Amino acid sequence: MVKVVIIGSGNVAQHLIVAFQNAQNSGTEIELVQVYSRQTASVAHLLGLEQLTNNLDDLAEADLYIIAVSDDAIAAVSSQLPFKNRLVVHTSGGVALNVLNDDNRKGVFYPLQSFTKNKPIDFKTIPICLESENATDYQLLDKVAKTISDTVFAINSEQRKALHVAAVFVNNFTNHLYQIGQEICLENKVPFEILKPLIAETANKIMVLSPEEAQTGPAKRNDTATIEAHEAFLSQENHLNIYKTLTQSIQENGKKL
């Protein structure tokens, strides 16, 4: 039985709690023995009070400690752990393994997904990127990861940094463009729902085509008249600048192909 402690109570921590509980219920050899949170009320709806603590000195003995806190807090939290030579990992995509305190064995347990509180997600579909300092610890991380996900990768810190930057482009930036599209619709009394089938089809195409093959639109076609009309329509300077930047990027990419 692999015993796991989660340190944190944010989006990632809460989804991990649910994922490990589901794994336990399916009979896998894993046990979520404890969760640390400064405010235990934030996760009290997910597990019993006997499994919660707000004191790092009271952390239970476990095979794996998963720090799921904000990037800026990882180093400080790892330096406050009251034990040595145990396996401690963080869940960040943008933080290197070596920020963890040297008192313990280090690793990374990075689920690559966008998490939102109270939005259920099938953890089995989420890629988990693993890194450790030695092969034995990696084997343990791999065993734990495979109890909650069907997709596990060995990814070092530099590769993970690249993945995290790429994820910002395909997820965070894309979602911001959805917001701009919604604002344009609302300003012109057009239901944003009309665009949702287009959004879904664009995402679905990437499952079977490369982004280059899937690219369409006036920038791809170099339709100058349409581009100029769009630029004249956009009254907000920020929207106009984004439109021009992305149009130029698409056109320059087309020249390279």
Q: What are 110-149's pLDDT values in tens digits? A: 999 988 877 888 899 999 999 999 999 999 999 999 999 9
Q: What is the pTM of this model?
A: 0.86
Amino acid at site 133: E
Task: Read off the pLDDT of residues 166-192 as tens digits, 9 standing for 90 and up.
Answer: 999 999 999 999 999 999 999 999 999
Provide the pLDDT confidence category of residue 257 given band limits of 50, 70 and 90. Answer: low
Average pLDDT, the chain: 93
- Are 19 and 145 in the same domain? yes
Query: Helices (H), strands (E): how many in the chain?
Result: 10, 8
State how beta strands 105-111 and 127-132 pair: antiparallel
Q: What is residue 159's predicted lDDT score, i.e. its pLDDT?
A: 95
Residue 21 token pair: 């509980």
Q: What is residue 145's predicted lDDT score, i.e. its pLDDT?
A: 96
How many domains is the chain partitioned into structurally? 2
Domain-ending residue, one of 123, 155, 187 = 155
- Are 212 and 122 in the same domain? no
- Are 24 and 147 in the same domain? yes
Q: What is residue 174's predicted lDDT score, i.e. its pLDDT?
A: 96
- Are 179 and 215 in the same domain? yes
- Are 94 and 200 in the same domain? no
Q: Which residue, 52, 9, 1, 23, is CA-closest to 145?
A: 23
Q: What is residue 34's predicted lDDT score, i.e. its pLDDT?
A: 95
Q: What phi-psi label fits residue 27: left (phi over 0), alpha (psi between -120 and 50 degrees) or beta? A: left
- Are 236 and 125 in the same domain? no
pLDDT at 95 over 90: yes
- Are 118 and 178 in the same domain? no
Task: Read off the pLDDT of residues 24-66 as tens digits, 9 standing for 90 and up.
Answer: 776 778 899 999 999 888 888 888 888 999 999 999 999 999 9
- Are 119 and 207 in the same domain? no
Q: What is the mean pLDDT of residues 235-239?
A: 95
- Are 151 and 172 in the same domain? no
- Are 12 and 137 in the same domain? yes
* H/E element, 11: helix 11-25
Q: Which domain holds residue 79?
A: 2-155
Q: What is residue 121's predicted lDDT score, i.e. its pLDDT?
A: 86
Task: Read off the pLDDT of residues 192-224 as tens digits, 9 standing for 90 and up.
Answer: 999 999 999 999 999 999 999 999 999 999 999
Check which CATH number belongs to the domain holding 119 and give it: 3.40.50.720
- Are 9 and 128 in the same domain? yes
Q: What is residue 255's predicted lDDT score, i.e. its pLDDT?
A: 74
